[in-house]
Amino acid sequence: MRWVPALRICVAASLLGGSAAHAANDSIRIGDWILRPHFSEQKDKKQKEKRLDRCTAQLANADKITMIYSLDTHYMWTLELSNPSWNFPSGSKFDVSFGNRERGYFRQRVAALDPQLVRVLLPDSLNSFEAFRRLFKLDVVAGGLTTQFDLAYANQVLLALTQCVTKFGMTTKRKTAITA
């Protein structure tokens, strides 16, 4: 049974290679997901250096709601939802149910970062994303809103985000130190 994890990695890598299409600015597509790194400029004494802030993957559903997975350089996961028609007061908080009929639902608190964007407040991001990884469909219920996301490529997307942070998260100084 030792070969099972290796097989999973090989299958994921082949799926990434086969279904990932590169776009401009280091972004890639996996299914309907768009993945990209986000950088901030660090001013060093000698040089400017672009430093990875986070890698994100986003998926828009039929209701024009966008789900955004993010992984920062400390390997902390975040989940956000956005829609241009929303108008939440910034800082407002409310409960949302996530899940599906087969696996059940769990309630989670969300906070509005701006009128069109809410962040799911995950108490343990690693365990939460492990739960999302096991779902093929995700229902989101908030008040009168019910929407669904197709998570068919979620495993490949989560792996690609981890690879993105590993690839782009190394600064020139860290690369030099490791090479030395």
- The CATH architecture of the domain made up of 3-179 is Sandwich (2.60)
- Going from N- to C-terminal start, the domains of the chain cover 3-179
pLDDT tens by residue, 58-117: 999 999 999 999 999 988 999 999 999 999 999 999 999 998 888 888 899 999 999 999
Burial (Cβ within 10 Å: 0-12, 13-18, ≥19) of residue 173? exposed
- Residue 86 token pair: 């929303």
- pTM listed for this prediction: 0.76
Torsion sign, CA atoms 143, 145, 146, 147: negative
User: How many residues are present in the chain?
Assistant: 180
